[in-house]
A = this chain, B = another copy of it.
Amino acid sequence: MSDKLIVVSSDCHAGLHIADYKPYVESKYHDIMDVAVPVQMEMTQKAEQSFLIKEINDAWRAPIQQQLTGAWSYDERIKMLANDGIAAEVIFPDGITEMNTPPFGAGLGLSPRDAVPELQWAGAMAHNRWLAEFCANDPARHIGVASIPLLWDVQQAVDAVRWCVDNGLKSVMIPTLWGDNDPYHHVKYDPFWEVCQDLGVIIHFHSGPAPQPEYFGKQWPAEDLSDQLPGAMGIYVSEVMWWLYRPLTFMIWGGVFERFPRLKAVMTEGGTVFMLPPWLRLLDHNYFDVQFSAKLGDFRSHLSMSPGEYFQRNIAVGASCVPRRDIELRGVLGVDKMMWGSDYPHPEGTWPNTQQYYLETFAGIPEADGRKILGENAIAWYGLDRNRLQAVADKIGPSSAIFHATGEAA
């Protein structure tokens, strides 16, 4: 085994500036895009102002303006990966940082809130076209996660998945929130799960979406109501993980992984040791507790396995910037479940201090465990080309010496 570690970031982001998506948007939507983009840019700025602290973000960005263009520039992207020692990356669309989000509300989370279905599809497919091109530069290293606004039309989603696979994309993201649409235990979505299973397409949910208007005010982000709604951000950070787990609660109980046993799903940037193990214990408790089901009837005979067993078989955890505290508690979730990610280019990520993060976080951690979390789990889950990635890692990867460094190590 090489002493150069294969690192896979299970959580990176990329996307064009919103206006730059135009060449990828079907021409029939260009006129409406000219109208919609300035509005969306203004909303994005307002959201950024109300949601993030502008001064902190500006200060964080100032010295790294050039490197941030790796969000869309392939040359910069390769430099960033080399500096971070990352051999391969899973690429989600970007959020509000740098305003490089697809048009028509097709950004991270694919929120159904205020979305016009036809336009959200147009924006998502524009992003998917660009993403397919971007990843085609080196498909072994760039695992693009296509955006599929599943809620509006299941057959359209099935067709879009086929398009993705034909264009080299075998990972997809679907909405985390469904608004007033049918949740994911509805059997109407079966053709979508089926095509994903059959074509080996992995479904992703990425943390972030939540009912923000409930926290920040119904007109959010158009107005700042923090004086009337104190603590909104504390509520958001306390609920956001639950909204990420929720689709999987519905899919597990709904029998999706029973009917489609080879379907794979990933929950990304939703924490590892705080709420995930309690959530799993609760699902299993409800599955095994007979007293409950006596009154409430049979809600488990359609499931041949317990929720925790589906989780082990069908679900992986994009653990993002795992703090050392969580690495030390890796046994709680299972060392085979955690896939590290840098979250580039988000300010809460490890970038641009990823090399320092490796040293501080993994010193003293058993090498076999560290290798799994940093890359081997993702290689196995996504079926990546390990030989090719080892060749990349031999040039840019961090050394296995990080596990044996002193200092932060206990």
Contacts and interface: CB of A to CB of B under 8 A. Distances in A.
Contacts of A233: 296-297, 299
Interface string A361-373: 0000000000000
Contacts of A228: 186-188
Contacts of A286: 234, 237-238
Interface in A281-306: 281-283, 285-287, 291-292, 294-297, 299-300, 302-303
A292 B348 contact: yes
B238 A254 contact: no
A214 interface: yes
Given A229-B186, A233-B297, A255-B230, A238 B282 contact: yes
Contact of A249 (B238, B249, B302): B238
Interface residues of A, number: 54
> Which of A187, A282, A292, A300: most chain B CB closer than 10 A?
A282
Contacts of A252: 231, 234
A296 B187 contact: no
A331 interface: no
A191 interface: no
> Which of A227, A238, A239, A292: most chain B CB closer than 10 A?
A238
A253 B230 CA distance: 7
A296 B253 contact: no
Contact of A278 (B53, B214, B278, B300): B278
> Which of A233, A235, A283: most chain B CB closer than 10 A?
A235
Interface string A253-289: 1110000000000000000001100100111011100
B231 A348 contact: no
A62 interface: no
Contacts of A237: 286, 292, 296, 299
Nearest to A53: B297
26 contacts: A51-B296, A53-B294, A53-B295, A56-B294, A183-B215, A183-B229, A185-B215, A185-B230, A185-B231, A230-B302, A231-B252, A231-B254, A231-B299, A232-B253, A233-B297, A234-B253, A234-B286, A234-B287, A234-B300, A235-B250, A235-B253, A238-B249, A239-B249, A241-B282, A278-B278, A292-B348
The 5 closest A-B pairs by CB, nearest first: A231-B253, A234-B253, A233-B299, A278-B278, A53-B297
Given A230-B253, A231-B254, A234-B286, 19 more contacts: A52-B297, A56-B297, A183-B229, A185-B229, A185-B230, A187-B227, A187-B230, A229-B254, A231-B299, A232-B253, A234-B299, A235-B249, A235-B254, A237-B286, A238-B249, A238-B283, A274-B285, A275-B278, A275-B282
